[in-house]
Amino acid sequence: MKRSEKDTSTDGGSVAPQQSLFETTADVERSRAERYRALIDEYVFAPGRIIWKDWRARIGITITTLFVLIGTVGVELVDRPYAGAGPELVGPFDSAYMTVIFGIPFWEYPLGTDSLGRGVFAQIVHATPAMLEMMFAGAIFSIVLSVVWGLLSGYKGGSVDQVMMAIADIVMTLPALPLVVVLAAILQPTEPWVIGIILVVNRWASFARSLRSEVLKLRHEPYVEASRTIGISTPAIITKDVLPNVMPLIVVNFVSTARNVIMASVGLYFLGLLPNTGFNWGVMMDNAYGQGAIYTKSLFHWFYPPMITIIFLSLGLLLLGQGLDRIFNPRIRARHAEHTRSDDESDAKQDEDVTVPDVQGGI
Amino acid sequence: MVSTRYFVKRTGMAFLTFYAVISFTFAMIRLMPGSPVDRLRAQLASAGQDPSAVARQVELYASINPEQPLWQQYVDYITSVATGDLGTSTWYNEPVAQILGNAMPWTIFISIVSIILIYLIGITTGAFMAYAEGSRFDVSWSGTSILLTSVPFYVVAVVLLWLLGYNLSLFPTSGHYGSGIEEGFNPQFIWSVIGHGALPIASLVIAGFGIVALQMRGNAIQVLGEDYLRVAQLRALPQRRIALRYVARNAFLPMYTSLMISLGTLFGSSIILEYIFQYPGVGYFMYQSISARDYPLMMGTFLFITAGVIVGVYIADLTYGFIDPRAGGGDREAF
């Protein structure tokens, strides 16, 4: 934060001898606009610049932005596919079907059509908004719950902590996929955001645990103890002193939860275990698979594009998560300040508490 | 080492968890909107039986008698589950416990073999990547690991099934072992079991080892920069001892718990895997039960898998003390 030249009181320069520490007021009044500019610079531009320097984050942001654009602008540009819209099972990039967009000839069905004559590409595009909704709903739900749980139990300690952690342990033990499948079978959710929440129904618990262990380190920091001593309320300490310190972890976990929601939802739609509502990459795969796409060459263009789409999005989110981790991780950030050359030694150096490898690919 | 107090506490916690899970399944069966018991009752009643006969049937299938007061249903359910009675499958018309008991060993086989391979391959590549940090080997394998990690295992499974199963016909595409082979301890049977398990295991391993390798690499690099390693080198300890006792052990420790937890998650993910490979394990029956709306089997499978995970995590927690002497918590003051 930039201070004006006159303000030297903080380095002990010009405090009048009689002036008590508690009566001192700032010599320089900063205008509201100045304050906001400083805040934006500190929290938006500075991290943004650092993030953009990392190739992982750069690719991750590009891919994620691309999907958001597809889900918002793309659905407006591409017509909603319907059964019988075109001939059945047109191959990809078939030049027999051409259309003209802005004077440029273009394939009418860039990735071909399925057995009902619906364009594969158009289906992929029109499946995106629901996927994004699912992703955000799941990630936000899981983050909010785990932040409340982790910070409160880590900070409070005692029997509150014990009870909260016992509950978290039980929830964590429930196997995610079977739980989701059973809940989906009983509740039959159709709204994307409800599905998103069901998919993370027990994922919050493990992150709450890692947040707690982070808070355990923070609760004895001098500035937190100082706040406690002068009688600041617990909610205020948690939100003002503790939360900002774990914010980086939260951002990284948000991205990885979003990735898990996508992988899990497509997997379950592929199995037909979630009620079929509109277009979805998993449903496309399920339909193609059901017609024998895995041994029929003429169906490949229907089966593999949704698969590649998921891998692409998942890779984007993974790289974004890794890039953010690298930037936010305090140990690594310190190194950024020391020498800016691309230091390989800090690669993939993840916090052991935070990243539990999920071997089965997000489910 | 594990103190008695910790042991007692941890065992109590395991039982509490199991009890909570049974209660939770009861709530799902009984209290959730559109509860399975109501549907089961509607199904049976539509056959035109009188209400008390329907109630008896429901009790046979779901271990819950909807005619009784709620607390009585709850107590009955808990006792029957605790004694191993999970009800009767409406689809197969066999006791759920028996169906799952037969399916269990196959799922355990797939999960255990894949977890061993995932960690073996992941740790070895991760350690080599860390050792040869910055080299072409490191860069290419880090890239491969990131790429493989972003591929869902079901995608790997489908591709393997298409390529090696159907196209090249190298591996069988369904079942646990070849038809007409006598079950028992003979080479032909064992070979067939391995052949049928190879593709499911391979898909889990290919999609799973990358993240372990990346984590091992990160941990090992961190350990390589620690002071105690310099001290060990200055003390002129044998290279082998440094590599195994100092680097490998300290890099692996943080991952031990996640190993056990991922055993549980692998177990759970068998639904998708066993569906794709038509491999009749626990997950396969869960899939079948959902397609057939066979709620007793569905709930039984859920309980079964959860019990497996609870045991896995319990073992992890108890053995962690043997591996990492630093583990073990102190009491904290409460604010």
pLDDT tens sequence across B137-166:
888 988 888 888 888 888 888 888 888 887
Rounded alpha-carbon distances, angstroms, from residue A326 to A120, A256, B229: 37, 14, 25
Instruction: Measure CB to CB from residue A182 to each of B16, B133, B298 and give the nearest one.
Output: B298
Question: Within a 10 A sphere around the Cβ of B61, how many other Cβ atoms?
Answer: 24
Chain B residue numbers touching A173 (CB-CB < 8 A): 17, 21, 264, 306, 309-310, 313
Give tens-digit pLDDT for B61-79.
Answer: 777 777 778 888 888 888 8
Burial of A18 (0-12, 13-18, 19+ CB in 10 A): exposed
Q: What is the DSSP string of A72-136?
A: IIIHHHSPPP-TTSS-TTPPTT-TTSEEEETTEEEESSTT-B-TTS-BHHHHHHHHHHHHHHHHH
Residue keyed to tokens 């900063």: A30
The distance of B176 to chain A (nearest Cα, Å) reads 21
What are the residue ranges in chain A where pLDDT is below 50? Answer: 1, 333-363
Kindly determine whether residue A310 and residue B20, on different chains, have CB atoms separated by under 8 Å. Answer: no
Kindly determine whether residue A347 and residue B222, on different chains, have CB atoms separated by under 8 Å. Answer: no
Spell out the per-residue pLDDT of chain B, length 335, in tens.
557 888 888 888 888 888 888 888 888 887 777 777 777 777 777 776 777 777 777 777 777 777 778 888 888 888 888 887 788 888 888 888 888 888 888 888 888 899 899 999 998 888 888 888 788 888 898 888 888 888 888 888 888 888 888 778 777 777 777 666 666 777 778 888 888 888 899 999 998 898 889 888 888 888 887 888 888 888 888 888 887 788 888 888 777 767 776 777 777 778 888 888 888 888 888 888 888 888 888 888 888 888 888 887 788 778 776 766 654 444 444 45
Kindly determine whether residue B266 and residue A359, on different chains, have CB atoms separated by under 8 Å. Answer: yes
- For the four alpha carbons of B318, B324, B330 and B335, in that order, the dihedral sign comes to negative
Among A191, A186, A208, A214, smallest CA distance to A257 is for A208
Among A186, A177, A187, smallest CA distance to A270 is for A177
The distance of B182 to chain A (nearest Cα, Å) reads 30
Question: Within a 10 A sphere around the Cβ of A111, how many other Cβ atoms?
Answer: 21
Q: Are A247 and A352 in contact (CB under 8 A)?
A: no
Q: Does A344 touch chain B (CB under 8 A)?
A: yes
Query: Which tokens is A136 given?
Result: 């955000």
> What is the per-residue pLDDT for A348?
36
Among A54, A52, A47, A48, smallest CA distance to A348 is for A54
With 0.80 as the threshold, say if the pTM is over it: no
Q: Are A128 and A136 in contact (CB under 8 A)?
A: no
Give rounded-to-5 percent helix, strand, coil for chain B: 75, 0, 25
Kindly determine whether residue B258 and residue A357, on different chains, have CB atoms separated by under 8 Å. Answer: yes
Q: In this structure, what are the phi and psi dihedrals at residue A98, rounded to the nearest 5 degrees?
A: -120, 150
SS3 of residue A158 by DSSP: helix
Chain B residue numbers touching A228 (CB-CB < 8 A): 335
Q: In this structure, what are the phi and psi dihedrals at residue A116, rounded to the nearest 5 degrees?
A: -105, 5
With CA atoms as reference, the chain A residue closest to B269 would be A177
Chain A residue numbers touching B314 (CB-CB < 8 A): none
| Percent over 90 (pLDDT), chain A | 4
C-alpha torsion angle, residues A353, A354, A358, A362 (rounded to 10) = 160
Kindly determine whether residue A173 and residue B225, on different chains, have CB atoms separated by under 8 Å. Answer: no
Burial of A170 (0-12, 13-18, 19+ CB in 10 A): buried
Kindly determine whether residue B218 and residue A186, on different chains, have CB atoms separated by under 8 Å. Answer: no
Ranges assigned E (strand) in A130-263: none
Q: Are A283 and A276 in contact (CB under 8 A)?
A: yes
Query: Which tokens is A83 given?
Result: 């059964």
How far is Cα B265 from Cα A265, in angstroms, rounded to an integer? Answer: 16
Q: Chain B, 195-224: which have a CB under 8 Å from a chain A CB?
A: 204, 207-208, 211-212, 214-215, 217-219, 221-222
Question: Within a 10 A sphere around the Cβ of A117, how many other Cβ atoms?
Answer: 17
How far is Cα A198 from Cα A265, in angstroms, rounded to an integer? Answer: 10
Kindly determine whether residue B34 and residue A159, on different chains, have CB atoms separated by under 8 Å. Answer: no
Give tens-digit pLDDT for A100-155.
Answer: 667 666 666 677 777 777 777 888 888 888 889 999 999 999 999 999 998 888 88
How far is Cα A46 from Cα A40, in angstroms, rounded to an integer? Answer: 9
Q: Chain A, 150-189: which have a CB under 8 Å from a chain B CB?
A: 155-161, 166, 169-170, 173-179, 181-183, 185-188
Rounded alpha-carbon distances, angstroms, from residue A343 to A54, A101, B224: 11, 46, 15
> What is the per-residue pLDDT for B121?
92
Chain A residue numbers touching B335 (CB-CB < 8 A): 155-158, 219, 228, 234
Kindly determine whether residue B146 and residue A322, on different chains, have CB atoms separated by under 8 Å. Answer: yes
Q: What is the DSSP string of B294-321?
A: -HHHHHHHHHHHHHHHHHHHHHHHHHHH
Burial of A137 (0-12, 13-18, 19+ CB in 10 A): buried
